[in-house]
Structure 1
Amino acid sequence: AQYNLGICYESGMGVEKDEIKAFKYYEKSAEQGYLNAQFRLGFYYDKGIGTEVNKVKAFELYKEAAEKGYTIAQNNLGAYYENGKGTERDLNKAVYWCNKAAENGDKIAQYNLGNCYKSGMGVEKDEIKAFKYYEKSAKQGYLNAQYQLGYCYDKGIGTEVNKVKAFELYKIAAENGNKIAQYNLGNCYESGIGTKVNKIKAFELYKIAAENGNEIAQYNLGIFYEDGMSVEKDEIKAFKYYEKSAEQGYLNAQHKLGYCYNKGIGTEINKTKASELYKIAAKKGHTSAQTSLGYLYINGVDTEKDLDKAFYWYSKAAESGNKVAQHNLGIFYESGIGVEKNEIKAFKYYEKSAEKGYLNAQCQLGYCYNFGIGTEINKIKAFELYKIAAENGNEIAQYNLGNYYKSGMDVEKDEIKAFRYYEKSAEQGYLNAQYQLGYYYSKGIGTEVNETKALELYKEAAEKGHDFAQNNLGACYENGKGTERDLNKAVYWYNKAAENGNKTAQYNLGNCYKSDIGIEKDEIKAFKYYEKSAEQGYLDAQYQLGYCYDFGIGTEVNKTKAFELYKIAAENGNTDAQSNLGYLYQNGEGTEKDLNKAIY
């Protein structure tokens, strides 16, 4: 009766709820040895209900009830021994009492015993036994066990992998409020694990789990909002979910939040915060954060440029198998950045990264085979690697593959295929490919002539600083190809290309100054541009410079220099130079008279 009266006061059944009175009635009943009351009184001391918390008294009461066969007390006593509450920690006794309660059918004890066998806590690790105890507990409807059993099926712990059963158990646990199961069920829907892919359901479940505080779900929800996957794209919401997850210490979120600050995604750019977050995650072993931190050090972003630290963090990430870091470390060794140049090591790091499917590394490895960097030249392997990377969307590999088909280098020449690969690469904004595609449209190589498209592509590449495109764009404007003739624009783009050291543009600009094309005639400037171009070995400029010396255009007459330049250009096939060289031999100007050579 005392115990029952305690129940009434505890629950407010037929009387006003009063936990202090409930405690007192449980105490009276327990003093008379009533088992249920002893357990209940222990629980009240455990949780501080109707009295102050007293773990020692709780332990004593649980022990007394447990020794008399009270199963819930046995489980709670096991937990006390496991966590050292009210007594010294003793894992052997924890397992003993958990086992007692489990044998008596207590579902929580069965679950706890499963945890012991899974992790080898107080007992030899045995995943098969762990699975069996989870199964027993789950059959009694214990939520945590249902989730854990699903996880066992998902990962093949103590049983064979069964994704369908995993999905079913996650679903049961998720629907009953288990937040980890909610996340895992969302993952199943996102990735098609044990069910069909359903991004909308995945999003819904991640949202529920995120609202319940699951840090991984918060991170995944951030990705959904950032990418606009099954929800309207919202970078501000993405940032907020990354922030919530990061605050709980989730490494992926800490790195991602740093990335958001670095790039200004959903927030203002803050390189200092980016650096701080990268450092936090990097020091905890997050390889992507280590790689990002290396990038900050190599570029001196919000920190002094420090190649040693950049190398250190790339090395840490590379040792842990990060493919991006391995690729970047390859660049360090190939170029001798922050470390002694070593092409063999560079090749090995590219190889490691490429084996993990990193496209840039596959392309770079192909480059190594192509030019014999750190390995012997192997054009076939280079082609194969370019092809793999190109088919997976690497724009540089697509461009390089275009070059292979263009030249027929270790592959049958095919200008149509070359055109297609240049086109794919150009669509991704690769500058060299945009120029090359423009050239193909200009000349009708692998496609029909289309001067308008050629002009557009030259213009796009020229505006990004590609000097060959700048020169060709100038030629389009000079000759009215793909556009109306505009000599001012022609000179503008020739000048841009010439400033960037393009020898053809320097020659063309020389012609403009010599012949008053789009600019006031200035033979001295013409001479200087021919000279710059000729110094880079441009054949027509060598001839034209010789002509300037021959006739004193923009400089004093110097027949000897004229002869030397005509000779260089003539030997390389310039017909005008050959004719003028013959004339100098005939008249003995700048050289001895020699009619045989003149006739030759």
Structure 2
Amino acid sequence: MWWPRPEPDPDDPPQDPDYSDGECDCLMAAAAPGQSPYFDGVKWADMDAENAMAICADLLLKDQDVDAEVVAAFGRALIKGGKLEMALEFSELAAMEGSGLAMNTLASLYNDGEIVPTEHETAFAWYMTAAETGLPMGMHNVAYGYENGKGIAPNIDKALYYYERAAFFGYEPSLLHLGVIYREDTHVARDMQRTVDYLKMAAPNGSADAAARLGYIYEIGENGYFKDIEQALDYHFQAARQNNVVALHNLGSLTYHGRDGVPQDTEAVLLFWGRAAKLGDVKSQRKFGRLLYETGDVEEALRFLRLAAEQGDDEAQKLIRQIEGG
């Protein structure tokens, strides 16, 4: 039987969870961020589903007496790998044994409606149950439901409460989203200091989006927040190292115009806009194409301008006509 291990009391001394080597391998490959205090978890985009499924399946074939959270991690890997029916089966087993992650997985299946009927109310109920186990991901999803009225009546106060609960555990998506909420002046009054505080907590956890937003805030002094070009560059580069196209585009613009003491450097601009253009950023494709034309590389210029035009960029289309007509 798969038995859950309760979350430790933060006031108690750390205890060895006594996972087997196989359980550790499965959790390291497929556990979600915030699922366990003993593992960092793997972000969805970073999970190698085939590898995770193989590791966890090998364990479960050898040993049925494993922790419910390990079974839940296997269910998560199965979803990433597109094995939805198996994911449902294993997640139901782990949820019955108290796994918050498995409950969250079941909720996502009811939201998607691919192998079970779409039932947003049922999904929200599972998210709430996951949140009550202490799973930050569950708290975040409950907050999203309250914010957007998905499966429950909208309630921004309750949404903020659950986002803040998840943020307390360092859950990156909640930290980032709280920063966005306090920046946008829609649900709550704009508060740029709270925005920056939340984004600064998300950025060190690897959120390139948070770093890019901080870079922009410091670059322009957004909404009255003070400008600081050194901090702007630090955050832009932090995000750019993770291939964030917004940061790459903004670094290119700063370097192209030589603004705020940043030296003008065509080679650097080509590097920044070129990287963003190859990652699919429309504005960077247009600006990179135009710069290539200015430096004499007409063939490559047209290639990137056409990529931008195909995505609906009218300015790129005008440039193409000017170049081909000239």
TM norm structure 2: 0.74
CA contact 1:530–1:545 (8 Å) conserved in 2: yes
Name the counterpart of 1:294: 22
Does 1:528 pair with 2:271?
yes
Please give the alpha-carbon distance, in whole angstroms, between the structure 2 residues aligned to 1:417 and 1:456: 21
Quick one: which of 336, 339, 351 aligns to 2:92?
351
Please give the alpha-carbon distance, in whole angstroms, between the structure 1 residues aligned to 2:141 and 2:62: 27
State the one-letter code of the partner of 1:494. H
State the one-letter code of the partner of 1:542. Q
CA contact 2:286–2:316 (8 Å) conserved in 1: no
Name the counterpart of 1:324: 69
Report deviation, 1:408.
5.3
Please give the alpha-carbon distance, in whole angstroms, between the structure 1 residues aligned to 2:210 and 2:65: 39
Report deviation, 1:447.
1.0
| SS in structure 2 of the partner of residue 317 of structure 1 | coil
Structure 2 unaligned segments of length 5 or more: list them: 1-7, 30-37, 39-53
Quick one: which of 196, 201, 216 aligns to 1:455?
196
Quick one: which of 581, 587, 592 aligns to 2:317?
581
Quick one: which of 240, 243, 264 aligns to 1:501?
243
Cα-to-partner distance string for 1:522-545 (whole Å, 9 max, x where unaligned): 111212211221222222212222
Structure 1 unaligned segments of length 5 or more: list them: 1-225, 236-258, 263-287, 594-600
Report deviation, 1:497.
0.6
Name the counterpart of 2:103: 362
Name the counterpart of 1:510: 252
Report deviation, 1:433.
0.8
State the one-letter code of the partner of 1:296. C
CA contact 2:182–2:195 (8 Å) conserved in 1: yes
Larger radius of gyration: 1
Name the counterpart of 1:549: 292
| SS in structure 2 of the partner of residue 447 of structure 1 | coil
Name the counterpart of 1:488: 230
Quick one: which of 150, 157, 179 aligns to 1:438?
179
Count how many residue pairs are aligned between Structure 1 and Structure 2: 292
| SS in structure 1 of the partner of residue 262 of structure 2 | coil
Please give the alpha-carbon distance, in whole angstroms, between the structure 1 residues aligned to 2:200 and 2:238: 12
Name the counterpart of 1:387: 128
Please give the alpha-carbon distance, in whole angstroms, between the structure 2 residues aligned to 1:401 and 1:476: 29
CA contact 1:477–1:487 (8 Å) conserved in 2: yes
Distance 1:360 1:502, change over 3 A: same
Distance 1:546 1:227, change over 3 A: closer
Does 1:378 pair with 2:123?
no
State the one-letter code of the partner of 1:549. L
Higher relative contact order (CA 8 A, sep 6+): 2
Please give the alpha-carbon distance, in whole angstroms, between the structure 2 residues aligned to 1:581 and 1:329: 48
Please give the alpha-carbon distance, in whole angstroms, between the structure 1 residues aligned to 2:73 and 2:62: 7
Please give the alpha-carbon distance, in whole angstroms, between the structure 1 residues aligned to 2:265 and 2:236: 16
Name the counterpart of 2:47: none
Does 1:428 pair with 2:164?
no
Please give the alpha-carbon distance, in whole angstroms, between the structure 2 residues aligned to 1:572 and 1:332: 33
Cα-to-partner distance string for 1:473-528 (whole Å, 9 max, x where unaligned): 11122123475321111111111111112111111111122122453221112122
Report deviation, 1:468.
0.4
Residue identity (%): 23
CA contact 1:491–1:519 (8 Å) conserved in 2: no
Distance 1:440 1:316, change over 3 A: same
Cα-to-partner distance string for 1:549-587 (whole Å, 9 max, x where unaligned): 3433xxx341x554554454456454xxx24633653x4
State the one-letter code of the partner of 2:140. Y
CA contact 1:314–1:328 (8 Å) conserved in 2: no
Please give the alpha-carbon distance, in whole angstroms, between the structure 2 residues aligned to 1:329 and 1:572: 38
| 1:90-109 equivalence runs, <5 A | none
